[in-house]
């Protein structure tokens, strides 16, 4: 479904007065306004192909209507998001959930919507129909070299799909671990994982990255072989310059200081990208910024400081992706809220008075340090994000326009009430 330009213009026309009043108010105090708006306009977050339908838990799944039935409709939905917020210009595919039937047609459809292909994700955490060997006891760390070989070949096949689509990164997340003490030899499991990743690493093209995603637990409930940043960092260092860590915000133990982890991985040149979401308890995969917006701001505060220290381009220097699951909300509304929350946190980090903060830190003026950070966090930057979005051709209020235009109703009309999207 293509959104007509006039629909967005009409929506913005109704809101322009109120927007300009709020924009003038906040921008009056933003010293680096043009830089902030330029950076916000350039900042896009990739949409996970597996989160365009209703998610579920083991206790149930309450599907909404009009969900994408295939890869083509998933690309259309990301195109819709991008038309509304001009900040979702890429899709991250998960293989085998989204195997393209015709690479050329898939590339052309994506180009039609201005959508690129971000990292491709392998899947050795499920057994596929007709699969020779099971991943019940793991994949790259499995005791059986035949199972490891099967998993390595799958990852190499995923790279092949990515190359055909113009992707430049492979994300590897492994459910490999154990659920009972004694079940696993940790040394052998880690060494086998490293050797398997080394074989996959050899298949990477020169301009590709391998993003190693760590996770503390689930579905393994005693140990996870790549369970924290340290294990992912160690593997990335042993593998080589094309290997990096991937930080999924929901994959940490309670109260982990994620912004400090991000600061170190970035300083060491081994931070590859993010899976943004939020959580109260575990890997809840909730809307970004919906539970801990201050943490999201603090993470972007470290990113802006650390990326500037390395002279990295904010928009292209790291992999920016969402990884969420929508059990209750309309998937597209939830994704638009996540993109908005991420850009708000980024905008707040861009208006932090870095010189004043540096001076206060060097003087151990703890109170002043907090005052400076919270001045930025407590600034309502939404008009800045909206201004960047509008000048890029988007809607001033994407969620409201999605509703006003009755887009979900239209999708249900063309796809039906009971359609189910592949994914989690």
Q: Which partner, ligand LRH, Mn ion, none, binds residue 176 by CB below 5 to 8 Å per kind?
A: none
- For residue 50, state whether it binds ligand LRH (rule: CB under 6 A): yes
Q: Which partner, ligand LRH, Mn ion, none, binds residue 121 by CB below 5 to 8 Å per kind?
A: ligand LRH
Binding residues for ligand LRH, rule CB under 6 A, total 10
Q: Which partner, ligand LRH, Mn ion, none, binds residue 141 by CB below 5 to 8 Å per kind?
A: none
Residues 6+ away with beta carbon under 8 Å from 370: none
Q: Which residues, 317 to 336, sit near ligand LRH by CB under 6 A?
A: 323
Q: What DSSP string describes 306-354?
A: HHHHTT--TTTSSEEEE----SSS-HHHHHHHHHHHHHHHHHHHHTS-H
Among 67, 77, 176, 213, the residue binding ligand LRH under the rule CB under 6 A is 213
Contact 230, 262 (CB under 8 A): no
Q: Which residues, 395 to 424, sit near ligand LRH by CB under 6 A?
A: 424
Calculate helix-pair angle for 382-391, 33-42, nearest 10 degrees: 60
Angle at 263 between CA 259 and CA 266, to 5 degrees: 130
- For residue 248, state whether it binds Mn ion (rule: CB under 5 A): yes
- For residue 118, state whether it binds ligand LRH (rule: CB under 6 A): no
| C-alpha to C-alpha distance for 56 and 10, rounded to whole angstroms | 36
- For residue 74, state whether it binds ligand LRH (rule: CB under 6 A): no
Calculate helix-pair angle for 258-267, 229-239, nearest 10 degrees: 10
Which of 126/414 has CB closer to ligand LRH?
Answer: 126
| C-alpha to C-alpha distance for 376 and 353, rounded to whole angstroms | 8
Q: Which partner, ligand LRH, Mn ion, none, binds residue 244 by CB below 5 to 8 Å per kind?
A: none
Contact 282, 325 (CB under 8 A): no
Least distance between ligand LRH and beta carbon 96 (Å): 12
Which of 248/397 has CB closer to Mn ion?
Answer: 248
Among 67, 77, 283, 334, the residue binding ligand LRH under the rule CB under 6 A is 283
Q: x/- string (CB under 6 A) for ligand LRH, residues 233-252?
A: ---------------x----
Q: Quickly tell me which residue has 């047609």 as its tokens.
A: 105
- For residue 141, state whether it binds ligand LRH (rule: CB under 6 A): no
- For residue 278, state whether it binds Mn ion (rule: CB under 5 A): no
- For residue 135, state whether it binds ligand LRH (rule: CB under 6 A): no
Angle at 120 between CA 109 and CA 40, to 5 degrees: 75
Closest among 382, 409, 336, 355 to 80, alpha carbons compared: 336
Angle at 174 between CA 235 and CA 139, to 5 degrees: 100
| C-alpha to C-alpha distance for 205 and 103, rounded to whole angstroms | 18
Among 85, 92, 121, 223, the residue binding ligand LRH under the rule CB under 6 A is 121
Closest CB to ligand LRH: residue number = 173
Query: Order of strands across the sheet with 271-276?
Result: 120-121, 169-173, 209-213, 243-248, 271-276, 319-322
Q: Which partner, Mn ion, ligand LRH, none, binds residue 98 by CB below 5 to 8 Å per kind?
A: none
- For residue 278, state whether it binds ligand LRH (rule: CB under 6 A): no
The residue range among 93-101, 137-145, 321-329, 368-376 that interacts with Mn ion, by the rule CB under 5 A, is: 321-329
- For residue 275, state whether it binds Mn ion (rule: CB under 5 A): yes
- For residue 141, state whether it binds Mn ion (rule: CB under 5 A): no
Q: x/- string (CB under 5 A) for Mn ion, residues 89-128?
A: ----------------------------------------
Alpha-carbon dihedral sign for residues 23, 29, 34, 36: negative
| C-alpha to C-alpha distance for 22 and 30, rounded to whole angstroms | 13
Closest among 94, 70, 139 to 322, alpha carbons compared: 94
Q: Which partner, Mn ion, ligand LRH, none, binds residue 117 by CB below 5 to 8 Å per kind?
A: none
- For residue 215, state whether it binds ligand LRH (rule: CB under 6 A): yes
Which of 157/353 has CB closer to ligand LRH?
Answer: 157
Least distance between Mn ion and beta carbon 275 (Å): 4
Least distance between ligand LRH and beta carbon 258 (Å): 15
The number of beta carbons lying within 10 Å of the beta carbon of residue 282 is 14
Q: Which residues, 152 to 211, sit near ligand LRH by CB under 6 A?
A: 173
Residues 6+ away with beta carbon under 8 Å from 402: 84, 332, 333, 336, 408
The residues binding Mn ion (CB under 5 A) are 248, 275, 323
Where do contacts with ligand LRH occur on this chain (CB under 6 A)?
Answer: 50, 121, 173, 213, 215, 248, 275, 283, 323, 424
């Amino acid at each position: 479904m293509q959104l007509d330009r006039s629909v967005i213009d009409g929506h913005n026309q109704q809101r322009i007065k109120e927007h300009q009043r709020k924009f003038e108010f906040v921008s009056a105090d933003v010293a680096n306004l043009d830089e902030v708006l330029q950076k916000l306009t350039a900042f896009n977050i990739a949409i996970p192909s597996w989160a365009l339908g209703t998610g579920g838990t083991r206790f149930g799944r309450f599907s909404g209507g009009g969900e994408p039935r295939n890869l083509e409709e998933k690309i259309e939905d990301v195109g819709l998001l991008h038309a509304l917020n001009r900040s979702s210009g890429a899709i991250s595919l998960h293989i085998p959930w989204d195997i393209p039937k015709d690479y050329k047609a898939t590339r052309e459809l994506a180009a039609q919507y201005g959508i690129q292909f971000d990292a491709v994700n392998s899947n050795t955490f499920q057994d596929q129909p007709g699969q020779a060997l099971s991943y019940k006891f793991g994949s790259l760390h499995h005791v059986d070299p035949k199972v490891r070989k099967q998993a390595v070949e799958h990852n190499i096949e995923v790279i092949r799909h990515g190359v055909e689509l113009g992707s430049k990164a492979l994300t590897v997340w492994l459910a490999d671990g154990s659920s009972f003490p004694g079940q696993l030899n940790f040394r052998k499991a880690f060494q086998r994982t490293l050797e398997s990743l080394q074989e996959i690493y050899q298949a990477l093209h020169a301009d590709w990255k391998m993003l190693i995603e760590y996770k503390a637990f689930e579905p393994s409930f005693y140990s996870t072989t790549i369970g924290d940043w340290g294990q992912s960092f160690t593997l990335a260092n042993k593998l080589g310059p094309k290997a990096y860590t991937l930080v999924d915000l929901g994959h940490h133990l309670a109260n982990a200081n994620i912004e400090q982890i991000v600061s170190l991985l970035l300083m060491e040149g081994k931070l590859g990208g993010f899976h943004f979401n939020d959580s109260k308890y575990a890997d809840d995969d909730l809307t970004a910024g919906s539970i801990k917006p201050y943490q999201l701001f603090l993470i972007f505060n470290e990113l802006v400081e650390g990326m500037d220290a390395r002279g990295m381009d904010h928009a292209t220097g790291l992999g920016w992706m969402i990884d969420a699951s929508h059990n209750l909300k309309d998937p597209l509304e939830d994704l638009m809220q996540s993109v908005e929350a991420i850009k708000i946190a980024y905008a707040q980090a861009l208006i932090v008075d870095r010189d004043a903060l540096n001076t206060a830190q060097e003087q151990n003026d703890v109170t002043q340090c907090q005052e400076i950070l919270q001045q930025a966090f407590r600034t309502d930057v939404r008009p800045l994000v909206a201004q960047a979005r509008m000048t890029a051709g988007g809607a001033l209020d994407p969620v409201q326009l999605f509703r006003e235009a009755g887009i979900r109703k239209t999708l249900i009309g063309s796809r039906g009430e009971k359609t189910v999207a592949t994914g989690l």
